[in-house]
Amino acid sequence: MLLLNRILYNQKNFLKSQENFLSDLAPYMLTHEVWIKMQAQTQAQTQMPVQLQTPVQTLVQTPVKKTKFMRNCIFWYTYTAINGECETTTNIMMNEKKTISDYFNNNLTSLKNSNHKLTLAKINEIKCNLMTKLYMDSVESFIPLSIYYKRPIYIYFKDINSYMRFEDKNYVCDDESDIDTNIILFFAKDNQVTLETDIENFMKTKDSLFYIQHYDKILPGVSTFKTDEIREIYKTVFGKDDDLKKPEYYEKVLVKCHTTINAKSLFL
């Protein structure tokens, strides 16, 4: 500022004295002493953030990983059940889904082996969704996963005391015990899905639950049930007993189950 003041206020003789001129510029010149000082400051600045680096990364990365699981939990939980804990990136997901899609394109009849009967139009839709939809956001997504990975997948809906099974009809359990260790088990409750490991306990209690045989056709026609039969299903699903007519039992069970298993919030 002193140097500028001399120029701005017409002090034209400020260059006459070389000593004064150099003394004014000294703080702004890259001398050897200034260079040493700058190096020391730079080194100190680069060392200080090292202690802050780890917690900052943790705060940023942890929610990202959790969010990806929440946004595509069917794929990631199944993938980690097969491959163990791993990095959850979009590239891994897209590459794996392409591999699955290629498998079904090269094995045109494999989806027909699902224990859930599918029309040809539905098979084509499932194959198309593998590459066009970013998220696996419905129970239907368990069909290609169970067949491709050759693992039975169970999903237990706690809110309706019901479960479904997805597997290849040609699947053969290699385990001679009562518990198939290849099973992948999901629990669904309060609009959230989790991957569970207590398969043995679930398999022992599943007979007390309502088994939904088809994800899209939850119940056969009302005429196939006796009143006592649909009433027992109603008691299981709702956890209570009411005095209703046969069509009322049927309708309430159908609506409750369909609403629960097709809730988008479960799988996103």
Residue 218: pLDDT band with limits 50, 70, 90: very high
Neighbours of 80 (CB within 10 A): 14
Q: Higher pLDDT residue, 172 or 124? A: 124
**Sheet of strand 210-211: strand arrangement:** 192-196, 184-189, 153-157, 162-166, 210-211
The token pair that represents 238 in the structure block: 């709702």
- Give the Cα separation of 124 and 135 in Å (integer): 17
Q: What DSSP string describes 189-203? A: ETTEEEEE--HHHHH
- Give the Cα separation of 263 and 268 in Å (integer): 10
- Give the Cα separation of 213 and 217 in Å (integer): 8
- Phi/psi region, residue 84 (left: phi>0; alpha: psi -120 to 50; beta: rest), is left
Residue pair 5/26 in contact by the 8 Å Cβ criterion = no
pTM comes to: 0.72
Residue 63: pLDDT band with limits 50, 70, 90: very low
- Give the Cα separation of 119 and 122 in Å (integer): 5
Residue 158 has a pLDDT of: 95
Residue 135 has a pLDDT of: 84
46 burial level (CB within 10 Å; 0-12, 13-18, 19+): exposed
Residue 236 has a pLDDT of: 97
Query: What share of the chain in percent tops pLDDT 70?
Result: 71
- Give the Cα separation of 173 and 127 in Å (integer): 26
Least confident of 25-29, 158-162, 203-207: 25-29
The token pair that represents 14 in the structure block: 């400020």
Q: pLDDT at residue 129 above 50?
A: yes
Nearest to 206 by CA among 173, 178, 234, 225: 178
Least confident of 50-64, 104-118, 146-160: 50-64
The residue to which tokens 């400051």 are assigned: 41
- Phi/psi region, residue 239 (left: phi>0; alpha: psi -120 to 50; beta: rest), is left
- Give the Cα separation of 29 and 22 in Å (integer): 9
50 burial level (CB within 10 Å; 0-12, 13-18, 19+): exposed
